[in-house]
Amino acid sequence: QVQLQESGPGLVKPSQTLSLTCTVSGGSITSGDYYWSWIRQHPGKGLEWIGYIYYTGRTFYNASLKSLVTISVDTSKNQFSLKLSSVTAADTALYYCARGIVAVAGHYFDYWGQGNLVTVSS
């Protein structure tokens, strides 16, 4: 059973960089055609895809966040990470990591982490 677990600070100051890491267990991050993803959920709101990375390092970002987002992968640790720069209060959200399947037939997220609440405040 694949499991994902987010880790990182729960509080970030405005204008600083939000950094989160997702540790994958129960399977290798390099196996299969999976795209390792970050998704966020603003308080009481819906879901927003941030971006994802393939184990080779190829990345895909939400165009609305692209200039501020960096997703990276560390295959030796079976982890992938999110950096979101110049954060504001609008970036306060629950951040999820998830495993994405991208195929000709379609795309979906089959495993999710528990979520990491990040509050942007001074």
Coil, strand or helix at 51: strand
User: Is 108 among the residues that bind other proteins (CB under 8 A)?
Assistant: yes
Measured in whole angstroms, how far is the alpha carbon of residue 13 from the centre of its chain?
19
Q: In the bound complex, what is the minimum distance in angstroms from residue 45's beta carbon to other proteins?
A: 8
Residues 6+ apart with CB under 8 A from 45: none
Torsion-angle region of residue 120: left (phi > 0), alpha (psi -120 to 50) or beta? beta
Query: Judged by CB under 8 A, does residue 55 bind other proteins?
Result: no
Assess 96 for contact with other proteins (CB under 8 A): yes
Judged by CB under 8 A, which of 49, 54, 55, 80 binds other proteins?
A: 49
Whole-angstrom distance, CA of residue 96 vs CA of residue 102: 18
Q: Which is nearer to other proteins, 75 or 114 (CB)?
A: 114
Q: Is 73 in the site for other proteins (CB under 8 A)?
A: no
Place of tokens 């994902």: 4
One of 25, 30, 47, 74 touching other proteins (CB under 8 A)? 47
- Choose one: 14-22, 57-65, 71-79, 84-92; the region binding other proteins (CB under 8 A): 57-65
Q: CA gyration radius for the chain?
A: 14
- Chain residues that interact with other proteins, rule: CB under 8 A: 45-49, 51, 60-63, 96, 100, 105-110, 112-115
